[in-house]
Amino acid sequence: MVNWIINRTDLQEVLFPLFIHHSIFFLTKVRREQFNLALHVMSNGLTKYIEIPEVIPTSSLLQPLPRASSPTLGGASFYLSFDK
């Protein structure tokens, strides 16, 4: 079994900008909320848990979910999952 540990710097400087640039999105509500929270924390420079508000405003960088699968995929759909 291989574990891939991603540090905060990699998330902020590599992965999240790539997700946003290529319009990669998460299909599950929980993953979208986690991604939105991460964007909020990074964009506002929050460093303590107590600084996080109870209601997180939706980021303008978060892409809306498509209504149907992409025609370039030929009707197939997929999503990123980081669950074990």
Q: What is the pLDDT of residues 1-55, one digit of tens each?
A: 888 888 888 888 888 888 888 878 787 888 888 888 888 888 888 889 899 888 8
Domain ranges in the chain are 28-61
Cα dihedral sign, 26-28-30-36? positive
- Residue 13 sits at φ, ψ, to 5 deg, of -100, -20
pTM for the whole structure = 0.65
Would you state the structure tokens that stand for residue 74, as one six-digit string?
């030929």
Q: How confident is the model at residue 68 (pLDDT cuts 50, 70, 90)?
A: low
